[in-house]
Chain A
Amino acid sequence: EVQLVESGGVLVQPGRSMKLSCAASGFTFSSFPMAWVRQAPTKGLEWVATISTSGGSTYYRDSVKGRFTISRDNAKSTLYLQMDSLRSEDTATYYCTTGYPGITGWFAYWGQGTLVTVSS
């Protein structure tokens, strides 16, 4: 059974940094691209970033480009999201997702989410 468990979400001041983690199990982590999707309180879903199986290719939405870094450690079956220069508009629940690109897509499996609150 695919399991994705996010952690690291806390209350942080604007301008500060935070790193989220997603521990994966139940599948061959190194064979699947991964993604982060976020959801601001009472709002809809917003794709944040995607990373290839090797980590050699990454993609970001414009609003986080240059501030967020997606990475992975295949030996530890863990996905990361380094978030720098945080803004209030980054406040959201962050979900780790995966799937079969081109078939079920990157959002076939979801973690339970971790809440990031950016506020002074």
Chain B
Amino acid sequence: DIVMTQAPLSVSVTPGESASISCRSSKSLLHSNGITYVYWYLQKPGKSPQLLIYRMSNLASGVPDRFSGSGSETDFTLKISRVEAEDVGIYYCGQLLENPLTFGSGTKLEIK
């Protein structure tokens, strides 16, 4: 199984500042078609998860452009610019390259 390792476990950010969350996969997520199958999700308190970033760097519909994704074959970063109070929650990376589909253990973002 592909293991997704996230860091840090939690992050506390001042509104208006930036935050970065890292995710590392135990296997390359780069497919032979040139697409990297890493995804980012946010689960706000008491809510269902929502898709933020698909295929490493593509912003999902309705997601503010303060969110961005980048990375290589095994190391990925979610960056949140100008953090707002509504960004609090748990962020998960996930790989959709192969079964079993797997997620990281999550990074909790809090506001200072």
Contacts and interface: CB of A to CB of B under 8 A. Distances in A.
Contacts of A107: 39, 41, 49, 51, 94, 96
A99 B43 CA distance: 17
A113 B48 contact: yes
Nearest to B106: A44
Question: SS class of chain B's interface: helix, strand, loop or mixed?
Answer: loop
A105 to B, nearest CB: 5
B48 A110 contact: yes
A35 B48 CA distance: 15
Interface residues of B, number: 23
Contact of B92 (A45, A59, A110): A45
A29 interface: no
A106 B96 contact: yes
B3 interface: no
Contacts of B49: 45, 95, 107, 110
A14 B103 CA distance: 27
Given A105-B96, A110-B48, A112-B48, 17 more contacts: A35-B101, A44-B104, A44-B105, A47-B101, A47-B102, A59-B99, A101-B96, A103-B54, A103-B55, A104-B51, A105-B39, A105-B51, A107-B39, A107-B51, A107-B94, A107-B96, A108-B51
Interface of A: 35, 44-47, 50, 59, 61-62, 95, 99, 101-113
- 10 cross-chain pairs, A with B, having the tightest CB-CB distances, nearest first: A47-B101, A110-B48, A45-B103, A105-B96, A104-B54, A61-B100, A108-B51, A44-B106, A44-B105, A59-B99
